[in-house]
Structure 1
Amino acid sequence: MRLGTGIGWRPEIADVVEALPGIDWVETVAENICTGHLPDSLLRLRERGVTVVPHGVSLGLGGAERPDPGRLADLAARAELLAAPLVTEHIAFVRAGGQRTASPTLEAGHLLPMPRTWDALDVLCENVRIAQDSLPVPLALENIAALLSWPDEELTEGQFLAELVERTGVRLLIDVANLHTNHVNRGEDPAAALDELPVEAIAYVHVAGGVEKDGVWHDTHAHPVTRPVLDVLAELRSRVEPPGVLLERDDDFPPAGELAGELAAIRATLDRAAVRGTDAPAYAGDLTSRPVAGPGAHAGKGVSRTAANPSAPTDARPSAPASPSAPTASSAPAHPFAPAPPDSVRDRVAVAQTALLRALVAGAPAPPGFDERRLGVQSRALASKRAGVVAKVAPELPEILGSGYREAFLAYAGRRPMSGGYRRDALDFAEELLSTGRPADRAARRRLTRWWKDRAGGRPPGRTTLLLRAARAALVGG
């Protein structure tokens, strides 16, 4: 099955997406779809034969904990509701803390990079296998953009992805904008990454825009696609013909003509690269079969622990024997390729990720080996994104607070790490304002009180409750 050319479906541009010519498929954020009701626009697209793929953002498969069964069930339900040929998620962690670290669970509100270590890979692979077994369709995972690097990494990005595919048979969603981001921010060569990863496992490709500020590339999905990103797309196309390519845009949506122009530039880039790379292997996979490969199917792409890091422990697991043929949907056992990591491995990953997240959202000291300047950039970016998303899910707040909204929210975010979703965050922000007698304008305070009561009920907490919360937050940050 080939997907063709697609665009990210967002409610703000639903009408534009429906009217754009040459759209073969769309991708929608899975968590924004109610399982009991599809938006009319998506229904009309499906009736026209346009494929809809759900794209998850909250599983946190790169986290130390096993995937939450409820989140997996929700993702599976959305895949079935949309009759999707596959679902996608990210190679990232989004929360940390909890029982393994005897600390409060913290939410990043963002996709954060995993360390490319054997421990983290072991944990990721088991989490992926759990997810694969819970989903009704194949799973593809996306490489993410990063502002910072982990110290003492043992694998390159290409090696990490190749080993992941080797062990689990999962497909890949390659974001060429993220490869460019990691080139600017971490000095990683996109061509080298493409050389190392198994391109035959690619399910589809993301293309998106960003912006460079103070020497750091921000993957905003709110700016036009740049030439360097298209150059990475051309590099990929010279190696393989991907079954699908999709333009992502999440904010500051331009007029329809500009979106159509970006799609035309993507098609032209693919066509030119195809001429130059006529010897590239054509994708011959079938999105309806799972997994894409079995153990040993990517011989020469994976890497042993000792090859990647000569000082790695010598008690590493031996490679699984080569499979005579890749399993199909009917022939799975899907992925019994490697034993589950012991809890001690998950505990080590949990401690490392919690220390990083505490530094980013709770004011804790930077963990050893991290670039403190980059941590500061990431921390400010997380707070800014948090303010922006809360303004979207609760637009009444910036309306009530006016120009003072952003400053007030960033001050609140500096004291209160996010421990739930963005809607909970909006309520907590309003609680804090009301409990400290803000906003000063009485009419605005009355409006905010009504807004809060309509959504939370009861009364905003008093000063004593706030002091206790502040004390807990100080413990998290310390």
Structure 2
Amino acid sequence: MAHLGTGIGWRPEIADAVEAMPGIDWVEVVAENLCASHLPDALVRLRERGVTVVPHGVSLGLGGAGRPDAGRLEALAERARLLDAPLVTEHIAFVRAGGDLTASPALEAGHLLPVPRTRDALDVLCENVRIAQDALPVPLAVENIAALLAWPGEELTEGQFLHELVERTGVRLLIDVANLYTNQVNRGEDTAKALDELPVEAIAYVHVAGGVLKDGVWHDSHAHPVPEPVLDVLADLTSRVSPPGVLLERDDDFPRAAELEREMESIRAAVARGRASATAASGTAASATATSGTATSGAAVAATAAPAGPAAGERPAVAPASDGARQRVGVAQASLLSALVADGPVPEGFDRARVRVQARALAAKRAGIVAKVAPELPRVLGESYRPLFVAYAIARPLTGGHRKDALDFAEHLLLSGRPENARRRNRLRAWWLARSGPAPLPRTPAARVARATRRVLLGG
């Protein structure tokens, strides 16, 4: 596995700051945000300087009950080739559920949701990872995610789940120490125990990010400074192994360049602290060995580098997941996702309060994305935009992408007579009409409803 060094997540909003930042060895870019036919000029300049760029996927849903979509896999492979990347990364998560497998409506989460740590889910994940490995031109690493809620009836800890995944597939790991900390706060999972159980030698690189505590729940926001407890987890990890790369993630509320540089320095300091601890432990162990004349080894002695991942022909065989396993996982995921995005009943065994927190978090995230896709909406609606959108989204699943979501939200408000301020309502109507536009409609019952709706929206 390639040595990466210290990096930062590349985002258009901080492109200039990243380009000017000293000591940046590599960057990671969200694969789905790249246009294959045209790379941003700032990213091109970084590559010309010799800065490694790693594509980071967010939409495969490797932990979902269905097999990975061939088109999404090809798009990820295309970006790996475009960037001449040494590897690509994705998440151990599901992002959609329902459909033909479960004979239920297909639903999109718009977010990374936790996979149940069960044998069925592990079988499905292992086969899906192998399908992805076979389709990609470079090694794959998969990331542990943060969770606000826990699945009932789990059979494995996170460390055990990841250890067996690596053992069965040979996949690399992208370990997010902020996500380990999030799961400690939200789910009571001890980070030191998780690190004890992890196959740290399989780590391709490490993510570090900030979050915020609200009402006793830690939200992995990527919009706040990295807190000291997360840096402590990073130091603990680097006392056990020297990862090929460490990267700062920031996705929103971007600070000034000087603050980003200070965060990078705090990450370097935590890594140095962990390595110093490993050196001290190694020296103590060597001293004990010299005294006793007995060879000593252990997890406290840090590895100097992670070994290279297995080549395709050397990967262990992966048995296909049974149809029954996929269906059981699919039904469970569809039931949870329905409760989160379609106002469905909370499945038995889940913490109802946490499900409500997660549902509101998903709606709030959706509101933020729509605000970026259609920035006119927050300007028209003012401070009422976010509460209105969250109330709208709680019971209305995302369909057809975020641009359609923006139009559907505006239509929903207009049909319900909002906003109450006539000036704002007229501005919203003008915005909606300019983007939806009158179009010939066929003479069907649905078309008559659509024409009637348009007349209402037109105010006549």
What CA distance in whole angstroms lies between the structure 2 residues aligned with 1:166 and 1:421? 37
- Write the letter of the residue equivalent to 1:371: D
- Identify which of 411, 424, 427 aligns with 1:431: 411
**Number of residue pairs the alignment of both structures matches:** 426
- Write the letter of the residue equivalent to 1:266: I
TM-score (norm. length: structure 2): 0.88
The equivalent residue for 1:112 is 113
Say whether residues 1:422 and 2:402 are aligned partners.
yes
What CA distance in whole angstroms lies between the structure 2 residues aligned with 1:188 and 1:388? 29
Q: Shift of residue 447 of structure 1? A: 4.2
Q: Shift of residue 337 of structure 1? A: 1.5
Q: Shift of residue 425 of structure 1? A: 1.6
Matches within 5 A, 1:109-148: 109-148=110-149
Greater radius of gyration (CA): 2
- Write the letter of the residue equivalent to 1:417: P
Q: What secondary structure sits across from 1:333 in the alignment?
A: helix
Q: Shift of residue 456 of structure 1? A: 4.0
The equivalent residue for 1:259 is 260
What CA distance in whole angstroms lies between the structure 1 residues aligned with 2:254 and 2:412? 33
- Identify which of 385, 394, 399 aligns with 2:374: 394
Matches within 5 A, 1:7-156: 7-156=8-157
Deviates more, 1:203-212 or 1:458-467: 458-467
- Identify which of 296, 320, 343 aligns with 1:363: 343
- Write the letter of the residue equivalent to 1:127: N
- Identify which of 376, 379, 384 aligns with 1:404: 384
- Identify which of 384, 389, 393 aligns with 2:364: 384
Q: What secondary structure sits across from 2:105 in the alignment?
A: strand
- Identify which of 269, 285, 290 aligns with 2:307: 285
Matches within 5 A, 1:235-274: 235-274=236-275
Q: Shift of residue 142 of structure 1? A: 0.4
The equivalent residue for 1:159 is 160
What CA distance in whole angstroms lies between the structure 1 residues aligned with 2:230 and 2:10? 21
Q: Deviations over 1:328-366 (max 9, x none)?
A: 3xxx32545232012111000000001111111111221
What CA distance in whole angstroms lies between the structure 1 residues aligned with 2:59 and 2:101? 20
Contact 2:243 2:306 (8 Å CA) reproduced: no
| Change over 3 Å in CA distance of 1:450–1:87 after alignment to 2 | farther
Contact 1:129 1:335 (8 Å CA) reproduced: no
- Write the letter of the residue equivalent to 1:360: L
| Change over 3 Å in CA distance of 1:465–1:65 after alignment to 2 | farther
| Change over 3 Å in CA distance of 1:458–1:436 after alignment to 2 | farther
What CA distance in whole angstroms lies between the structure 2 residues aligned with 1:350 and 1:462? 34
What CA distance in whole angstroms lies between the structure 2 residues aligned with 1:134 and 1:454? 42
Q: What secondary structure sits across from 2:379 in the alignment?
A: helix
TM-score (norm. length: structure 1): 0.85
RMSD: 2.1
Q: What secondary structure sits across from 2:101 in the alignment?
A: helix
What CA distance in whole angstroms lies between the structure 2 residues aligned with 1:395 and 1:20? 29
The equivalent residue for 2:327 is 347
What CA distance in whole angstroms lies between the structure 2 residues aligned with 1:434 and 1:365? 29
| Change over 3 Å in CA distance of 1:202–1:466 after alignment to 2 | farther
Q: Deviations over 1:258-298 (max 9, x none)?
A: 11111111111111211111231121434xxxxx24xxxxx
Q: Deviations over 1:44-97 (max 9, x none)?
A: 111111111111111111001111111111111111111111111100001111
What CA distance in whole angstroms lies between the structure 1 residues aligned with 2:67 and 2:360? 29
Q: Shift of residue 379 of structure 1? A: 1.0
% identity of equivalent residues: 70
| Change over 3 Å in CA distance of 1:233–1:443 after alignment to 2 | same
Contact 1:64 1:347 (8 Å CA) reproduced: yes
Deviates more, 1:111-120 or 1:414-423: 414-423
What CA distance in whole angstroms lies between the structure 1 residues aligned with 2:217 and 2:36? 38
Q: What secondary structure sits across from 1:60 in the alignment?
A: coil
The equivalent residue for 1:170 is 171
Q: Shift of residue 429 of structure 1? A: 1.4
- Write the letter of the residue equivalent to 1:348: R
| Change over 3 Å in CA distance of 1:281–1:427 after alignment to 2 | same
Contact 2:5 2:26 (8 Å CA) reproduced: yes
Q: What secondary structure sits across from 1:349 in the alignment?
A: helix
Contact 2:202 2:306 (8 Å CA) reproduced: no
